[in-house]
Structure 1
C-alpha cells in the first residue's frame, strides 16, 4: 500500500511540474493522459487573458488537472459506450439472422414434407392403379364376348320355345323354378350394368395412372383435356351434394387443342389444387347460407347453383389457356396480393398448408415457362388463368404419351 501511495504522489508531482512548465508564450497545452493502460490525448486550448507572460498558480494547475481527469473519464466512458453500442447492434443483427434462418429452415422443412407427401401419394396411386388395372382389363375385355355368348344362348332358347312351346313336364317345372322368363329379360340388362361398371372402373384407373405420372426428367406430349377429366374423376366425390350445399355442377367448354408438351403429372397437380380450392370456396359459401337458415329473396346470388366452369382455348397457335371459374364468394384485394405466397392460407389451422397455389405457380411459371394469374371480385366469384406454350422449346427431350 505504501509503495502504491508513493507512486501516485510521485506521478501527481510530475504532472504538476509539467503543468507549471507550460507557461509563458505557450497558448496551447497538450496533456497526455494515461489511465488503466489506455492512452488518451486531450487537446486543451488555453487562451491568455493578459498580454504579459506569467507563471500559472497552483489553483490553476489543480483546476487544469481536474479537467484533464474528467476528460479522461469522459473519453473512456464514450469509448465503452460505443463498444457496447456496437456489440448490441451486432447481437441484434445476429439474432435477426438466426430468426430468419430458423424461419427459412421451417419453410424448407414444410416444403420437403409436402413434397414427400405428394411423392408418396403419387407412388401409392401408381401402385394401386397398376394392381387394379390388370384384373379390370381382363373383366372389361371379356364382358363383350360374354354378352355375345349370352345373346346367342338366349336366341337359341327363344327359337326352341317357338318350335317346342309345350316341353315335357320336368322342363316346364324347372323353367318355373328358375323363373326363366324373368331371367331371359333381366340377364341382358345385368350384363349391360356390368359393362357400365367395368367401363367406370377402367376410367378411374386410367385417371389415377394419368394423375400419378412421375415425369421429372422428360416432358411428354399429351392431351390436356384428359388431365382435366381425370382430375374431375378423382374429385367426383367432393362434387356431390352434402347437408350443407347442393351438388356442384361442372360445365366444360373445351376448345380444339393440339397435343401439348408438358409435365402431365405436375400439371394435373395444378388442376387438382385449383379445383379443390374452388370446391372448398363453394362449400363454404353455400354451406353458410344453408346453415344460417335465411330466406333469400329473388335475385339473391346464393340462389345460384354452385358451379365450376372449365374453358380451354388455343391462342395464336402457340399457347393453350385453361380457365377455371367458380361462382363462389370471391376474394379481397389483400388476399389476391398474397395468393401465391408460400404458407399463406385463409383456411383454418389444420385444413390448409398454404403451399398448393405457391407450388402451382412454380410448376406453371418455372417448369412450363407459362403464366398463372387470378381474377376475383369479392362476392362475384373467382377465375384462374393457366397459360402454357404448346411446345417447350427450351426442353429438348420430349416423349410421346
Structure 2
C-alpha cells in the first residue's frame, strides 16, 4: 500500500481553465467542500490497472479563504483485487448452494417417486390377483342365482301346493325379498370390485415410472388419479362437510411430459389446498362451514396463443399474505408447524414445471379470497 500526500497551492492569478492536478482539484475549490474516498480506476503507462482512494481537503487561512488543497491518495489496488476475488468466491459459493439445493430436491423427488413406485407395484400386484378372482366370478354367480331362482319357479309351478313345513320356511326366510335383493347384493359387490380396480389403476397412473424422455399423456388422467388418492382427505368428518371438488375441464390434446413428476406437482398443490381449507375452518361450526362449503376448483384450458396448456387449482380458504407469496417456492420455506411441512413441496413443484417441462407456475392470492396456483405447460 502506497500513500501519497501532496499540498497544492492556489495561485491568485491562475486561469480558471486548468488541467492535470489543478483540474482535478478544481471542483473542491469551487464548492469549498472536502471530497473524501473517491475511488478511481486508472491504467498506468506500463498497462497495469490500479485503484486509487483519493481525499481532497480544502486548506483555509485565518479569514476562511481557501489557499490550497491537501491531496491524499492511497494505492488500494491490492485491497481492491482481494475484494474482487472475495466477491467472485461469494458468487461461486452462492451458485454452488443453488446447485446443491436443486440436486437435493431432485434426489428427494427421485427417491420419493422410486419408493412410491415400488410400493404401488407391490400393492397393485397383491390386490389385482384376488380382485381378478372376484371380478371374474361375479357374473357366473349371477348366472347361478338366476338358474336357482328359475328352478324354484319351476318347482312351484309343478308343485303348486307345498307342504306346511316348506311354506313356513318360505315365509321365514322371506323368499320374495331374497329373490329381489340377492341380485342387487351381488351387483353392489361388483361395484366394490370395480372401485378397488379403479383405485389400483389410479395408483399406477399417479406413480408411473417416467422414462428418460417426455411421453404423450392425458393431463386429466393425472389430475383424476391424484384426486382419487386424496379422496380420504376430502371426505366429510365430524367437524366439517365433504370438501367439494369442481372440475372445469376443457378439451386438451395429449401433452408431452413426465407424467409421474407432474402428478407429484398436482399432489403437492392439492394437499396444500386441503391444508389451507382445514386451517380456514378453525373456529367455525359445522353449520357455518356448510353454509359456505369448502371448495377446490380445477380448470384446464388452452392459452389464447394456442401454445400452452393452462391448469388452475383454486381453493376458497383464507388466502396467503403478499409477503408469504413471494417465498412459497423458496427452498425449505414453510408456514406449517415443525414436523408438518418440509418446505420442499412447492420448491420441487416449481423445479418440475420450470426446469423439467419448460413451463411456468405462479400463485395468485388475497386474504379471505382464497388461493390459485396457475401452471402453464408448453403443448
Would you say how many aligned residue pairs link Structure 1 and Structure 2?
305
- RMSD of equivalent CA atoms: 3.7
Instruction: Give, in whole Å, the separation in 2 of the partners of 1:118 and 1:309.
Output: 26
| SS of equivalent to 1:372 | strand
Q: CA deviation at 1:95?
A: 11
Match of 1:220 in 2: 215
Tell me, in whole angstroms, the C-alpha distance in 2 between the residues paired with 1:199 and 1:309. 26
Q: Select between 159-168 and 179-188 the one with higher mean Cα deviation.
A: 159-168
Give the secondary structure class of the aligned counterpart of 1:155: helix
Q: Flag the 1:261–1:162 CA change in 2: closer, same or farther, 3 A.
A: farther
1:329 — aligned with what? 318
Structure with more strand by fraction: 2
In 1: Cα distance, 2:217 partner to 2:268 partner: 20
Q: Which runs of 5+ in 1 are unaligned?
A: 1-82, 391-401
2:328 paired with 1:339: yes
Q: CA deviation at 1:227?
A: 1.2
Assess if the C-alpha contact under 8 Å between 1:249 and 1:305 holds in 2.
Answer: yes
Question: Does the CA-based 8 Å contact 1:249-1:307 persist in structure 2?
Answer: yes
In structure 2, distance between residues paired with 1:160 and 1:317: 69
Gap change, CA 1:263 and 1:101, over 3 Å in 2: closer
Deviation at 1:245, TM superposition (A): 2.7
Higher-Rg structure is 1
> What SS class does the counterpart of residue 287 from structure 1 fall into?
coil
Q: Report Cα offsets for 1:275-297 as digits up to 9, x if no partner.
A: 00000000000123349xxx97x
In structure 2, relative to structure 1, the CA distance for the partners of 1:366 and 1:101 (3 Å cut) is: closer
The TM-score, its normalising length taken from structure 1, stands at 0.65
Q: Which moved more, 1:99-108 or 1:201-210?
A: 99-108
Question: 1 CA distance for matches of 2:377 and 2:104?
Answer: 30
Where does 1:296-375 land on structure 2 (aligned, <5 Å)? 303-315=291-303, 316-375=305-364
Please give the secondary structure, in 2, of the residue aligned with 1:252: strand
Q: Deviations over 1:127-183 (max 9, x none)?
A: 211221232133223323332332343234334424532235665466456543332
CA contact (8 A) 2:206 2:263 kept: yes
The structure-2 alpha-carbon separation of the partners of 1:156 and 1:314, relative to structure 1 and needing over 3 Å to count, comes to: farther
In the alignment, is residue 267 of structure 1 matched against residue 250 of structure 2?
A: no
Higher helix share: 1
Give the match's secondary structure for 2:367: coil
Deviation per residue, 1:41-61 (Å, 9 max, x gap): xxxxxxxxxxxxxxxxxxxxx
Matches within 5 A, 1:2-401: 112-113=107-108, 115-168=110-163, 171-172=166-167, 175=170, 178-290=173-285, 303-315=291-303, 316-390=305-379
State the 4+ residue runs in structure 1 displaced beyond 4 angstroms.
93-111, 168-179
For residues 269 and 102 of structure 1, the distance between their equivalents in structure 2, rounded to whole angstroms, comes to 24
Q: Give how far 1:271 is off.
A: 0.7
Alpha-carbon separation, structure 2, partners of 1:268 and 1:197: 25
User: Any gaps of 5 or more consecutive residues in structure 2?
Assistant: 1-77
Helix, strand or coil: the match of 1:250?
A: strand
Task: Please tell me whether the aligned partners of residues 257 and 313 of structure 1 are also in contact (alpha carbons under 8 angstroms).
Answer: yes
Change over 3 Å in CA distance of 1:223–1:95 after alignment to 2: closer
User: Any conservation in 1 of the 2:106–2:348 contact (CA below 8 Å)?
Assistant: no
Residue-by-residue CA offset, 1:360-387 (whole Å, 9 max, x unaligned): 1111111112121111111100111112
- Contact 1:244/1:283 (<8 A) preserved: no
CA distance in 2, matches of 1:246, 1:389: 37
